[in-house]
Structure 1
Amino acid sequence: MTMDDIRPRIPAQPVRFLDRLRLHIRESGLAYTTERTYIHWVRRFIYFHQKRHPQEMGAAEVEHFLTHLAQQRDCSVSTQRIALNALVYLYTRFLDVALDNLTFSQARIPRRLPVVYSRNEVSAILSHLQGVSRLQVQLLYGAGLRSAELLSLRIKDIDFGSNNIFVRGGKGNKDRTTMLPQSLVPELKRQIQRVQVLHAQDLADGFGAVYLPDALERKYPNAAREIAWQYLFPASKISRDPRAGVARRHHLHPSALAKRIRHAVRAAGIHKPARAHAFRHSFATHLLEAGYDLRTIQELLGHTDITTTEIYTHVVNRGGKGVLSPVDRMQPPDGIAEPVVAYGMAI
């Protein structure tokens, strides 16, 4: 499997512009997902302006690019905002060039409501999953994890004593804790036993040193071979680390999990997008329906701003915000039986 969530190595004194930008982002302590996103949009910005150097451009070119995204590319509000954030970082923090009073056409495609599965739909999807795949989806739904957070879990991050799951370096490069579903404890312990057996075999074969971020690898040189640092969901094959150039076992690739979820959703006959992130949305929505307050859900999800969590108030199952539809108050005429509904069709 490709280790595409490991930062590639760059020279200590980079010469290329994008490498120097990468180094600045890393020294600023931003997450690798942010680094990849910013590099992507800066590269698109450069190519849009026929490969002109950013130092030769400024606010006018930024406005032109953002307007192009809104008018010609029909991008969403969130996409345009991400591009804006990348270019603001490029100019104000990296090049030390002010971008005051930017004027550009605002994107008009609004942020969409999240995809949420009902409890019955989650049960139906799980019925078409087995073994490790089932456990992974149960954790997505039961702990509100993002796909990347789930796959990055190490054995040490499962704390059976405090009933917590420790999420390290989540979105925004933040750590947090979330709940450990008690019903999953037996299967999680079995999964750890499977990893122990696999790790012992890797050590016997001359492998077994898992990837660690640079600082940790220097501080704890023996940790990479310890069972505590092994991934909870390891990949099926050994692959080459693009940073260190050594062969090692990484975690399962997100595409493998996404494929299994897609097959399960289709097999369950559910006509909603098959997305791993939908289980996190379902986790938040169902907690809100159960009466838990937004602040608690915000902490479990790791949202910095509670307005991000508030979007789930728009999708809770409260019968149209607690209002009973007039058609539901209607009584069928005397002598006319109500139709029996099977598989969505009246018969």
Structure 2
Amino acid sequence: MEARPRKLLDQVRDIIRVKHYSYRTEESYVYWIRRYILFHQKRHPREMGGAELEAFLTHLAVEEHVAASTQNQALNAIVFLYREVLKQDLGIQIESVRAKRSRYLPTVLTQEEAIAVIRQMSGVYQLVVKLLYGSGLRLTEALQLRVKDVDFAQQQLVVRDAKGGESRVTMLPASVMDALKDHLQGVKRLHQQDLDKGYGSVYLPFALERKYPNADRAWIWQFVFPSDRFSRDPRSGITRRHHLHESGLNRAIKQAVRAAGIEKRVGCHTFRHSFATHLLQNGYDIRTVQELLGHKDVKTTMIYTHVLNRGGKAVRSPLDL
């Protein structure tokens, strides 16, 4: 009996995993492809093309008023479907339908404000935020840190497979080292308890579980910030301890911002913005800041020079003369 062909969305998942895209990207792409198909009354994408894609993007912009970044996310998902899964030409210039993102200046805290927020926090969440601000990490980079990526001797963190699949080295603040060492001692005890109960495995990227069969239980591969509970891996189905979920940290930051009396819209990424801005304010070279942030293009880092110049390019108002 001939095997039935895999469903389209399962084919999408297969190729995403072959390309080692993150689980979050997988969820996003599958969501938008499903939305695209449903919008066109469940027609198969093979029967559609550029005109249907443009109609869907227009609906998102005009009827649903989505942001340009959201519209482009949908575009990327559908282009992935046609290029990588269906191997079909859409028949349009992709850049011509890509939404132009508005240029904005990120919210930045002063050094005093950043420290005030951190002081309103405690425990593991405070430690994570100290790394966001003190090392310039993205939220996912901090949560996905492994024990082997913390180098106390060199006073640095190795950020692996970050945005764009790149890795980099950034600083480990001296003021965090003692607290981080104490934290890791507790994590090691927790890991040993998990091993004693028959658990203790952790997700390994890029099929390393097959290459190194016992590495998933090794101490060096454990997450620096493990979750306080077990969960089922959505891809493998294995029950294991993953890293902290971002939702708890987001709530803790919001509470700390309110307690500190700061009237700015502050999120996890605000601390990374503040890290870059304060380094530039202290006279560090923009190329150095670029490397620490992991930006491919210095133009991305240049946004923080505009933050420094807010208020009419640093020109004094005539009212203040």
RMSD: 2.3
1:63 counterpart = 2:30: no
Offset at residue 317 of structure 1 (A): 5.7
| Separation in structure 2 between the aligned mates of residue 114 and residue 139 of structure 1, nearest angstrom | 19
1:164–1:179 contact (8 Å) kept in structure 2: yes
Larger Cα Rg: Structure 1 or Structure 2? 1
Offset at residue 106 of structure 1 (A): 6.8
Q: 2:68 aligns with which of 72, 77, 92?
A: 77
Shift of the 251–28 alpha-carbon distance from structure 1 to 2, 3 Å rule, reads closer
Name the residue aligned to 2:271.
279
| Separation in structure 1 between the aligned mates of residue 271 and residue 120 of structure 2, nearest angstrom | 15
Shift of the 223–268 alpha-carbon distance from structure 1 to 2, 3 Å rule, reads same
**Count of aligned pairs between the two proteins:** 318
1:31–1:172 contact (8 Å) kept in structure 2: no
Name the residue aligned to 1:4.
none
Secondary structure of the residue aligned to 1:272 is coil
Name the residue aligned to 2:92.
100
Offset at residue 84 of structure 1 (A): 2.2
Name the residue aligned to 1:297.
289
| Counterpart mapping for 1:190-269 below 5 A | 190-213=182-205, 215-269=207-261
| Separation in structure 1 between the aligned mates of residue 18 and residue 41 of structure 2, nearest angstrom | 29
Deviations 1:161-211 (A, max 9, x none): 222211122222322221111221111111111111111222222221222
Name the residue aligned to 1:48.
39
Q: 1:38 aligns with which of 29, 33, 55?
A: 29
Moved more, 317-326 or 143-152: 317-326
| Separation in structure 2 between the aligned mates of residue 133 and residue 307 of structure 1, nearest angstrom | 32
Which amino acid is the alignment partner of residue 87 of structure 1? I
Name the residue aligned to 1:87.
78
Moved more, 231-240 or 76-85: 76-85
| Counterpart mapping for 1:10-49 below 5 A | 15-49=6-40
1:67–1:105 contact (8 Å) kept in structure 2: no
| Separation in structure 2 between the aligned mates of residue 232 and residue 173 of structure 1, nearest angstrom | 20
Which amino acid is the alignment partner of residue 88 of structure 1? V
Offset at residue 93 of structure 1 (A): 3.1
1:31–1:169 contact (8 Å) kept in structure 2: no
Offset at residue 107 of structure 1 (A): 4.7
Which amino acid is the alignment partner of residue 203 of structure 2? Y
Shift of the 176–243 alpha-carbon distance from structure 1 to 2, 3 Å rule, reads same
Secondary structure of the residue aligned to 1:142 is helix
Moved more, 94-103 or 208-217: 94-103
| Separation in structure 2 between the aligned mates of residue 85 and residue 207 of structure 1, nearest angstrom | 38
Deviations 1:50-81 (A, max 9, x none): 22111110010011112222222223332222
Structure 2 stretches of 5 or more lacking a match?
none
Identity of aligned pairs, percent?
54
Shift of the 125–276 alpha-carbon distance from structure 1 to 2, 3 Å rule, reads same
2:20–2:206 contact (8 Å) kept in structure 1: no
Deviations 1:281-320 (A, max 9, x none): 1111112222223322222112223222222222126654
1:141 counterpart = 2:130: no
| Separation in structure 2 between the aligned mates of residue 28 and residue 206 of structure 1, nearest angstrom | 32
Shift of the 47–313 alpha-carbon distance from structure 1 to 2, 3 Å rule, reads farther
Name the residue aligned to 2:298.
306
| Separation in structure 2 between the aligned mates of residue 16 and residue 284 of structure 1, nearest angstrom | 45
Which amino acid is the alignment partner of residue 281 of structure 1? H
Name the residue aligned to 1:170.
162
Name the residue aligned to 1:334.
none
TM-score by length of 1: 0.84
| Separation in structure 2 between the aligned mates of residue 210 and residue 181 of structure 1, nearest angstrom | 27
Secondary structure of the residue aligned to 1:191 is helix
Name the residue aligned to 1:332.
none
Structure 1 stretches of 5 or more lacking a match?
1-12, 330-347
Which amino acid is the alignment partner of residue 313 of structure 1? T
| Separation in structure 2 between the aligned mates of residue 38 and residue 60 of structure 1, nearest angstrom | 20
Secondary structure of the residue aligned to 2:170 is strand
Secondary structure of the residue aligned to 1:315 is helix
Moved more, 107-116 or 80-89: 107-116
